[in-house]
Amino acid sequence: MRYVRFIAAWWLVCLATVATAETLQGGRFTIVYDEGDARFAERSLTVLEAAVEEFGSRLPAGEDPIKVIIAGSLRDFGRETQHFAAGQVSGIARPSESRIVVKSPRLREPGGDFAGTLRHELIHVLLHRNTDTDRLPKWLNEGICMSLANEYRWASPLRVARMFFSGRVIPYARLDYAFMSPGSEMQFGDAYAQALSMTRHMRDTLGEDTFWTVVKDTRDLGFLDAMEQHAGMTPAAFWDDYARSLWWIALIGGLASGSFLGPAWVLLVIAYLRRRHRDRRILQRWAREEAEDEEAFHWEDVVDDPEAWKRDDEGEDEAWTRVSR
């Protein structure tokens, strides 16, 4: 009897869930939402259709449908984001399935950028449709999404400035590993700030046309080949150029935010200058030691006959000649 009551209760929960699910259809978009989120569904459709129009010249959406789910509860959202903590993600895209899931604004922190999240996740889908995202570096994938979505416009330079002065800049070889999963919007952290900063620098350096040619040509070429063919540089050369510009990027970021006026930033800059001075002294000491070692080494000091190697080579040549004959 208890088992029967449990089954009946379970079916009532399922029916209640189904009953509250609503669907809004608009063009290629199908938006699924709880009945209490109708205004957010309409707003989502407006944002997404405008974004498709805005990005169409660079990243055409095509005619295939895109499904968008506005999760009305943390439980519903958790079913779609099993590998992430509930507070770690605001939205997730499954580009190969043309599927986007976002938290209802009712579940987000006040002031959250709901429209930015929708645009971000949509761009993941558009990139998948226009490139081979397995060839596109994860940092560039996320950087493009944040850049086009107009997210973190002022937060990124400020965070990169802090990273630079505190020695936390992520080396290029480790940057992609800092992203747990492509296609998901994680909390804004160091890797995301650096990815956005690098993407902006790449667009400025290459120009819009060349930048998008490189990005879209990853459908047929590896990223390194696309960079060499269209930009005339390797990813390593781009990284070196970006690294050299970090001082200026950090300075502008700190000044634009007004943070350099605070005592904490003064101490941070002083610590950076001390660390830089210390590193230079270490490099200079290594250079001196290496020069001293080179000056101290003379071939005639370690062998009795410095010309013997020449005679040995002549003997070996004669031996090889006899064998070949």
The predicted pLDDT at position 19 comes to: 41
Last residue of a domain, one of 68, 100, 130: 130
Total number of domains constituting the chain: 2
Q: What is the token pair recorded at 63?
A: 């005619």
The predicted pLDDT at position 247 comes to: 80
Task: Determine, yes or no, domain membership for 241.
Answer: no
The predicted pLDDT at position 224 comes to: 96
Q: Is there a contact between 181 and 126 (Cβ–Cβ < 8 Å)? A: no
Backbone torsion region of residue 111, taken as left when φ is above 0, otherwise alpha when ψ lies between -120 and 50, otherwise beta? left
Q: Is there a contact between 151 and 234 (Cβ–Cβ < 8 Å)? A: no
The predicted pLDDT at position 62 comes to: 92
Q: Is there a contact between 195 and 186 (Cβ–Cβ < 8 Å)? A: no
Q: Where residue 9 sits, what CATH number does that domain have?
A: 3.40.30.160
The predicted pLDDT at position 320 comes to: 40
Q: Is there a contact between 118 and 150 (Cβ–Cβ < 8 Å)? A: no
Task: Determine, yes or no, domain membership for 135.
Answer: no
Residue 286 lies in domain: 275-324
Place of tokens 């160091």: 190
Task: Determine, yes or no, domain membership for 281.
Answer: yes
Per-residue pLDDT of the chain (325 residues; tens, 9 = 90+): 554 454 444 444 444 444 468 999 999 999 999 988 999 999 999 999 999 999 999 999 999 999 999 999 888 888 877 666 556 678 999 999 999 999 999 988 887 889 999 999 999 999 999 999 999 999 999 999 999 998 876 677 888 888 887 888 899 999 998 886 545 555 678 899 999 999 999 999 999 999 999 999 999 999 999 999 999 999 999 999 999 888 877 776 666 555 544 444 444 454 445 555 454 555 556 666 666 665 555 545 545 555 554 555 555 444 444 433 4
Task: Determine, yes or no, domain membership for 77.
Answer: yes
The rounded Cα 146 to chain-centroid distance in angstroms is: 9
DSSP 126-148: HHHHHS-TTTS-HHHHHHHHHHH
Task: Determine, yes or no, domain membership for 207.
Answer: no
Last residue of a domain, one of 130, 160, 182: 130
Q: Phi, psi (5° rounding) for residue 98?
A: 55, 50
- Measuring CA to CA, how many Å separate 146 from each of 21, 139, 250? 30, 11, 19
Q: What is the token pair recorded at 154?
A: 């002022």
Helices then strands, counting H and E runs in the chain, come out as: 14, 6
Task: Determine, yes or no, domain membership for 245.
Answer: no
Last residue of a domain, one of 99, 130, 161: 130
Task: Determine, yes or no, domain membership for 103.
Answer: yes
Task: Determine, yes or no, domain membership for 55.
Answer: yes
Find all residues with CB under 8 Å of 164, minimum gap 6, and list them. 246, 247, 249, 250, 272
